[in-house]
Amino acid sequence: MSELRYNVATRDWVVVAPERARRPEDFHAGRPITTADRPAHRADCPFCPGSEDHTPGETLRFCDAQGNWMVRSFPNRYPALTPESQEGRPKGNLFRRRRFGSGTHEVVAESPLHNTTLGLQSPAEIEQVLRAWRQRSQDLFHRPELEHLVVFKNHGLSAGCSQEHPHSQIIGLPVLPSSVRRRFDDAARFYQKNQGCVFCEMLRVEQEEAARVVVETYGFLAFVPFASDSPFSVWILPKRHSHCFALAETTEIRELAGVLKQVLARLYLALKDPDYNLIVHSANPPGPGSHFFHWYLSIVPRLSRMAGFELGTGMYIRSSPPEADAAYLRQVNLEALEGPKS
């Protein structure tokens, strides 16, 4: 029997309709070539070693003991936003613009290997990527013109990825997007009404019920939300209340790397290397929200499409219950994971 479920953190409703049933294994991406099957290096790839001059203006570099880079960041050659700004003259009270899309847009190359991804990398390698995200976030937060930062990763064509080489992106915005503002407002409203953080409450309930938990460690919980709007979506939350990812402690970054490895490796094996979006949801270090907001990572495999109902209502229909998704991911045998081929 179908039911409506409510996500208390996002205030969104979702339809869970198991009678439209698809078994978890029916969501396999079924792509003929997975990430690990690609060549380890491509001469025409601007992110592979040897092509560093194609990405000028490097902003960060982590190297191994031999001096070879392992993670590096640099400005996007085709940025969505650029540092220059010019405020346009409004027409009446309606039309306002910034002519050069003021902000910043960086790329983080996550590995020198062309044929890997976070789910195939070691926890130590993932830790370096997380450290790069944290450091660049800390650096960019010092720029007074930026109101919000978003760290995200697109994996696969249907997730919006245009470069095969493993990478993520950081965009700094001079405005606060309405969806982010709504998320903050909803968290603040819950805090004022209940004298507590809505995300901390979600953590408590998900730990107690355990049915939707995928991975749990001392400091983190990864779970399929009770009312997630997409199959196999996973949220990863720190158990320590903190509103800003950039303020994560080094021990937390190391532990998060292990959790992220487990979650993405399970998705890689269970769904045959699916396309996905990974987003770091975070507030600014000095801004409001330290009491009511709670940073987290969301991972959304691109397994379903919007149709008329979704476009008309803003609600999603999912045929696989979150509990079934979590159970399917928990039973994945991680020993079957094969790394990239050299």
Kindly list the catalytic residues.
167
Beta strands in the chain (DSSP E): 3-7, 12-16, 60-63, 69-75, 104-109, 148-155, 167-173, 213-216, 220-223, 234-238, 276-281, 296-301, 316-318
DSSP string, 246-289: GG--HHHHHHHHHHHHHHHHHHHHHTTS--EEEEEE---SSSS-
Q: And the tokens for 328? A: 């399917």
Handedness of CA 95, 96, 100, 104 (dihedral sign): negative
Nearest to 301 by CA among 327, 333, 272: 272
Asked if 142 and 177 count as a contact pair (C-beta separation under 8 A), the reply is no
Pairwise CA distance, residues 138 & 208, whole Å: 34
Please identify which residue in the block is written with the tokens 């003991």: 65
State the greatest distance between any 2 C-alpha atoms of the chain, in Å, as a whole number: 63
Q: What one-letter code names the amino acid at 66?
A: Q
Q: Return all residues near 324 (Cβ < 8 A) that are at least 6 apart.
A: 24
For the chain, give the number of residues: 342
Task: Write phi, then psi, for 26 (nearest 5 degrees).
Answer: -75, -10
Q: For residue 166, give Cα distances in angstroms to 36, 44, 103, 239.
A: 11, 15, 24, 28
**Residue 54 DSSP class:** G
Task: Write phi, then psi, for 186 (nearest 5 degrees).
Answer: -65, -40
Pairwise CA distance, residues 163 & 228, whole Å: 28
Q: What one-letter code names the amino acid at 113?
A: L
**Residue 87 DSSP class:** B
User: Cα 57 to the chain's mean position, in Å?
Assistant: 25
